Amino acid sequence: MSDQGNEHTVEGIDKLKSLVEEINTCLFCTNLKTNDGATTRPMGAVKVCDEGNIWFFSEKNSDKNKEIEQDSSVQLFFAHPGKGSYMVVNGEASIVIDQEKIEELWSPVVNIWFKEGKNDPNISLIKVKPSSAYFWDTDGNQMINFLKMAASVATGTNYVSGTEGEIKI
């Protein structure tokens, strides 16, 4: 990576939105003090709102909700190796029970987990308010970067380029 920069406020939220939309699925980590991976699970982000909060659907009685109630600190790891896009988000999570917000964020895909639809009594939302975020983007696609890496090894010159930086929200 060569360019290092900071994405600030509106630009930062736009960068956060674009990476979450592009990658969508993250490893959602709760109970960070145990640091053993057992409280990490894949989750699909639903939306990044204009304030920079990342929204997820969750079952009210899930282990992750219970863990968030005990300690709201979370980490989210987003990765799209095919596009060379990566991001880590640290934040505070909260459980939200709000039918209006559920309706706003609902999509047919969510029916897979909530068979009774939008009115399923076990639906909750998780709102993650980022406290810090860092991203890495590699320029070009995977095949081009593979060729650039091979040329870099052969010549001793780094031909792989990209950007990385803190996202300020």
The full 3-state SS of the chain, as one line of letters, equals CCEEEEECHHHHHHHHHHHHHHHCEEEEECCCCCCCCCCEEEEECCEECCCCCEEEEEECCCHHHHHHHHCCEEEEEEEECCCCEEEEEEEEEEEECCHHHHHHHCCHHHHHCCCCHHHCCCEEEEEEEEEEEEEEEECCCHHHHHHHHHHHHHHCCCCCCEEEEEECC
pLDDT band at residue 11 under the 50/70/90 scheme:
confident
pLDDT of residue 19: 93
Number of folded domains that form the chain? 1
CATH code where residue 132 lies? 2.30.110.10
pLDDT of residue 140: 54
pLDDT band at residue 80 under the 50/70/90 scheme:
confident
Q: How far apart are CA 3 and CA 159, in angstroms?
A: 13
pLDDT of residue 58: 97
Does position 160 have pLDDT exceeding 50, yes or no?
Answer: no
Give the residue with greater pLDDT, 6 vs 20.
20
Q: What is the mean pLDDT of residues 119-138?
A: 93
Q: pTM (2 decimals)?
A: 0.82
Give the residue with greater pLDDT, 120 vs 141.
120
Range(s) of the domain holding residue 112: 3-167
